[in-house]
Structure 1
Amino acid sequence: MASTKPGERKLQILQTLAAMLEHPKGEKVTTAALAARVEVSEAALYRHFASKAQMFEGLIEFIEASIFGLINQICESQDQGLMQAQSISGMLLNFAEKNPGMTRVLIGDALVNEDERLQLRMNQLAERLEMAFRQSLRLAVSQGYLTEPEVQARANLLCSFVMGRWLRFAKSGFKLLPTELAPMQIALLLR
């Protein structure tokens, strides 16, 4: 058996954890089940992560880096505030659709019986998303498309819409796609 390079096993563990989360009615995600899927001992898991919570933190860090990296790209390439908000909304829905296991982390479903600091971190992620929407909508105000009093309400509405679509996707067993009718709905929210 070929040895793995440093960091490869850690990534494999996180990828396997995300894959296990794609089956909400399947096996419970325990360290024993995760170790069996990765084909290592539980002790080997703990050589890479001090706790199961730290494994979830690794997933959350990946989610944050991916989402906010994409938001930065959108904001750098799109100079229209309303188009930024629309693109960010669409990207967030696409991200969930392509990463169903991570969607369960985004909505907190996978974190229910885990360390409460993980849910707090997801709450902070939601606040940061709303802040990104506010920033784009403030740009739209400066471009004459919105008024300042609309910014907070629309940012909150967009964030709630995205999170609601994530929740619907996860609770439907990943059958009701978050992107279904989304472009028209997002356009309605930004009118």
Structure 2
Amino acid sequence: MRDSFDPSASEIETTTAEEGKTRKRPRPGERRLQILQVLAEMLQNPKGERVTTAALAAKIQVSEAALYRHFASKAQMFEGLISFIEQTVFGLINQINQKEESGLAQARGILQMLLFFAEKNPGMTRVLLGDALLQEDDRLQERITQVLDRVETSLKQALRIAQTQGGTWANVSQDEVSIRAAMLMSYVLGRWHRFARSGFKKLPTEASDISLRILLSE
């Protein structure tokens, strides 16, 4: 399951000459991926400090000008991270929906996946919460809000399926389904905030089975 960037995917090969080791030119797209990987790693700083392009360039050991050969702006780098989140999260939601026929099982799977994704990708959690996007381009906040709205819609769709499958959920109104979906999303956001505020020590998945059983009960 593609939960996080694989550092090995962007390793730069080196060759040893008589003068010592020399770095080969990165393959197409390799440096771009490396920049996004290192940015995500730097966002894992428990202090939540803002990442500057100067610090990012220093971490990669390239010039700031080299960064801008791959990304037109810092905002575009964050857009790359948001695209990764979007593709991964909705790819996993599709897998869950294809695997599970039960609407409640779909909702539970989506919620568990969101908690697990944050736990495995602390830096991405700060992007999802918008913390890492403060003082950046406003459109980034709008973009991540759209992603979260789509996730809530996916939860709502799963609960609507549960309505049609009989049992106690058959008596739940459409308005209540929307309220429930919003409540579940608030639970996830709360877990993410708790994780980030604790310096990534209080894991989002802690006792999540019990929490989800209560939240999805009727």
Report the TM range for the smaller structure's normalisation: over 0.9
Higher mean C-alpha displacement, 65-74 vs 137-146: 137-146
Query: Is 1:156–2:178 an aligned residue pair?
Result: no
1:93 aligns with 2:124: no
Question: One-letter code of the match for 2:146?
Answer: Q
1:124 corresponds, among 130, 137, 146, to 146
2:215 alignment partner AA: L
**TM-score under structure 1 normalisation?**
0.97
Does residue 173 (structure 1) correspond to residue 199 (structure 2)? The answer is yes
Alignment of 1:41-80 (within 5 A): 41-80=63-102
Could you tell me which residue of structure 1 aligns to residue 212 of structure 2?
Answer: 186
Kept in 1, the 8 Å contact 2:36–2:77? The answer is: yes
> Are the equivalent residues in 2 in contact too, given 1:138–1:148 (CA < 8 A)?
no
**Given residue 8 of structure 1, which amino acid in structure 2 is its aligned partner?**
E
Aligned length: 191
Shift of 1:58: 0.2
Distance in 2 between the 1:110 and 1:138 partners?
A: 34
User: Given the alignment of the two structures, is residue 82 of structure 1 paired with residue 109 of structure 2, yes or no?
Assistant: no
Q: Structure 2 CA distance, aligned partners of 1:26 and 1:137?
A: 35
1:84 CA displacement: 0.4
Native 8 Å contact 2:46 2:200 kept in 1: no
Letter in 1 for 2:173: E
For the aligned residues, what is the CA RMSD?
Answer: 1.1
% same residue: 62
Q: Equivalent of 2:166, from 134, 137, 144?
A: 144
TM-score, length-normalised on structure 2?
0.85
Q: CA deviation at 1:183?
A: 1.1
Q: C-alpha distance in 2, partners of 1:123/1:21?
A: 19
Instruction: Give the conservation status (yes or no) of the 8 Å contact 2:53–2:74.
Output: yes
Cα deviation for residue 27 of structure 1 reads 5.7
Residue type matched to 1:158 in 2? L
What amino acid sits opposite 2:118 in the alignment?
A: A
> Does the aligned pair in 1 maintain the 2:191–2:204 contact within 8 Å?
yes
Q: Distance in 2 between matches of 1:26 and 1:176?
A: 16
Q: Gaps spanning 5+ residues in structure 1: where?
A: none
1:47 alignment partner, SS class: coil
Whether the 8 Å contact between 1:19 and 1:101 is mirrored in structure 2 is yes
Q: Mind listing any 5+ residue stretches in structure 2 that lack a counterpart?
A: 1-22
